[in-house]
Structure 1
Amino acid sequence: MLEQWHTGQVTRIINETYNTRRFWIQIPDMDRFDFKPGQFVTLDLPIHEKKNKRWRSYSIASHPNGSNEIELVIVLLEGGAGTTYLFNEVKEGSELLLRGPLGLFVLPETLDRDLFFVCTGTGIAPFRSMAYYIHEHQIPHKNIYLIYGSRYIKDLLYPTEMQQLQAMLPDFYYIPTLSREDANGWDGRKGYVHTIYEEMLSAEKRPAHFFLCGWKAMIDEAKQRILCMGYDRKDIHLELYG
């Protein structure tokens, strides 16, 4: 049975960066919107006659908190019909047709191995949801590494929040890495996400779950490299964007 569609109401919109926006959507016909951290919703946008050309899916960036409101973080894609509509036409008070929650990109039952959350761009959304959920519910866990790839400092989503979470959540490590930043103001990691998890596991291949979320090229390369390190396919969980 397919999930039914609900009419959501946009309650708040803020610009997170120069090309990303955070949208809060309330679903009035539900008392609470229950979902597992990592799941997504599909929006039906009035941008085409054909249904399947109107649908756009976005990971839920907020964590389940018992309310009927969720947050999505969306990047404006050049020439993208869906995001152009969301950025140009949708205002606070607008209605959006959505269904969900959907998807199997969720945490394992027990967090008895290290977790490597590897992402680029808005791929941070499901990991923000998972990390807050682990923190709020004080779920026992091993090390959690959020390895987040962006081009420049200005592209980073939720940086202050992730630093605060690192201070609050034991054994949670926020590791942003920038591939093109030359500015003197950046003393963090430079380069791509792959070198970071490879370095961390080169001395000792310890049991781990790898969650990959972001652009296809990053995910394909990560999958290949993780398998080359001797991990099994079932250690790798992925959510593709674009």
Structure 2
Amino acid sequence: MLEPWRTGKVIKIENATFNTRRFWIEIQGVEVFHFKPGQFVTLDLPISEKRNKRWRSYSIASYPDGSNVIELVIVLLEGGLGSNYLFNQIIVGSELTLRGPQGVFVLPEVLDKDLFLICTGTGIAPFRSMVHYIHLHNIPYRNIYLIFGTRYLSDCLYKEELEQLATQMKGFYYLPTFSREDNTLQDIHHGYVHHLYEEIVVKEKKPAAKFYLCGWKNMIDEAKEKIVALGYDKHDIHLELYG
């Protein structure tokens, strides 16, 4: 059943990086906004007369906490009508029309295989939600590898928070990698996401695993090919495409 359109009131905004912003939205008319980690909401923005050209979907970056507040993390796209509207017109107190939750990019009911959560940019949003949810509810899991690709250290969303989680959750590995950072910097991964999951799969002798991919199309297309080449079935791969 399709969820109704609702009103969301923006109650907080923070800059996360030079071109990403965190928006906290209080859903009006409900005490609790129920959703599964990994799902998204669709905003209806006044940027076109045609309805389907007004819609922009964003993964929920927060985790279900029994409240009616959700967080979205949004990147400002050059020439992007939706993100430019949100960055330039929306302030604390603004109201947004939204529908959700939507989507089937969610955790399996039983976490009996290793999870590879592979993302670029704001594609980290659904994985942040998932990992916090697993931690807060003491859900049994095997190994979880959160592999996050971005250009520079300054682009690294939720870095301190996820590093802290990695110290609290045995078997959770937070692995950011940087494609344009100074190669002389020690103690960080350089390059793209693919070499990290390939190395782990080889080292661990191809563990039973599920792969969740979220981010830009180029990364997802390349990852699908590489994961199948590692010997996994395409049904082991779940994806959420951005852009």
- Whole-Å separation in 1 of the counterparts to 2:206 and 2:224: 16
- Whole-Å separation in 1 of the counterparts to 2:184 and 2:193: 20
Listed one character per residue, the Cα deviations across residues 29-72 of structure 1 (whole Å, up to 9, x for unaligned) are 01100000000000000000000000000000000001000000
- 1:57 corresponds in structure 2 to 57
Stretches of structure 2 that go unaligned for 5 or more consecutive residues are none
The TM-score normalised by the length of structure 1 is 0.98
- 1:80 corresponds in structure 2 to 80
- Whole-Å separation in 2 of the counterparts to 1:185 and 1:154: 13
- 1:199 corresponds in structure 2 to 199
Deviates more, 1:198-207 or 1:116-125: 198-207
- Whole-Å separation in 2 of the counterparts to 1:173 and 1:96: 36
Correspondence list, 1:1-20, <5 A:
1-20=1-20
- 1:211 corresponds in structure 2 to 212
- Whole-Å separation in 2 of the counterparts to 1:144 and 1:162: 12
SS at match of 2:84: helix
- Whole-Å separation in 2 of the counterparts to 1:185 and 1:226: 29
Alignment RMSD (CA, Å): 0.9
Shift in Å, 1:183: 6.2
AA paired with 2:86?
A: L
- 1:104 corresponds in structure 2 to 104
AA paired with 2:236?
A: D
- Whole-Å separation in 2 of the counterparts to 1:186 and 1:27: 44
Deviates more, 1:22-31 or 1:177-186: 177-186
Listed one character per residue, the Cα deviations across residues 11-44 of structure 1 (whole Å, up to 9, x for unaligned) are 0000011110000000120110000000000000
> How many percent identity over aligned positions?
66
The TM-score normalised by the length of structure 2 is 0.98
Given that 2:64 and 2:133 are in contact with CA atoms closer than 8 Å, whether structure 1 keeps it comes out as yes
Shift in Å, 1:2: 2.5
SS at match of 1:118: strand
AA paired with 1:232?
A: D
Listed one character per residue, the Cα deviations across residues 135-181 of structure 1 (whole Å, up to 9, x for unaligned) are 00000000100000001111110100110111111211000000110
- Whole-Å separation in 2 of the counterparts to 1:27 and 1:122: 22
- 1:23 corresponds in structure 2 to 23
AA paired with 1:70?
A: I
AA paired with 1:216?
A: K
- 1:128 corresponds in structure 2 to 128
Structure 1 residue runs of 4 or more that deviate by more than 2 Å after TM superposition: 183-187
AA paired with 1:177?
A: T
